[in-house]
Structure 1
Amino acid sequence: MTTTERYLQPHQARLRPPTPFEDLLGDAIERAFADGVHELHALVAYLNRTGPSAENGEPWTESSFAALMARLGQ
């Protein structure tokens, strides 16, 4: 990479620090990936087994997980 090329560190794009819930969810997703879980249905099942629950305290669904990822990705 030359000195004129620019790149963005993911943390530079944050508008605020993650919430405790977001930290827990991120850790759980990382553990799932480390265990070889890569499909959405399997990830949702993993989260429902290990936690954390969805923000509303309900079990995860594929649509609730996708909606949260879309909202957090804005």
Structure 2
Amino acid sequence: MCTANRPLYLEPHQARSAAPTPFEDLLGDAIERAYAQGIHELESLIAYLNQSGPSAPNGSPWTTDLFCAEMARLGA
């Protein structure tokens, strides 16, 4: 079969340079739980993370700035 006519797509795991760390797994799971509960606004998500964990990477409570910086770092 000729592959030239197939649409291009990215497998999600192709973009990873390494397996997720335990912290990344915990954070992803917590964000998924929040979304499942209908939490979609940033401020509410930050409050949920501060209540349920995990803590921010430096051990402090999450802030919007910390969360956005961490998402940018993880997405880089």
Q: Which residue number in structure 2 is paired with residue 44 of structure 1?
A: 46
Quick check: 1:26 aligned with 2:18?
no
Counterparts in 2 of 1:51-66, with a 5 A limit?
Answer: 51-66=53-68
Aligned mates of 1:40, 1:31 — CA distance in 2: 14
Tell me by how many angstroms 1:4 deviates: 2.1
Q: Deviations over 1:17-48 (max 9, x none)?
A: 11000000000000000000001000000000
Aligned mates of 2:52, 2:30 — CA distance in 1: 8
Q: Deviations over 1:27-73 (max 9, x none)?
A: 00000000000010000000000000001110000000000000110
Q: Which sections of structure 2, spanning at least 5 residues, go unmatched? A: none
- Percent of counterpart pairs with the same letter? 66
Aligned mates of 1:3, 1:43 — CA distance in 2: 42
Q: Which residue number in structure 1 is paired with residue 72 of structure 2?
A: 70
SS in 2 for 1:37: coil
- What's the C-alpha RMSD, in Å, of the aligned pairs? 1.2
- How many residues get paired? 73
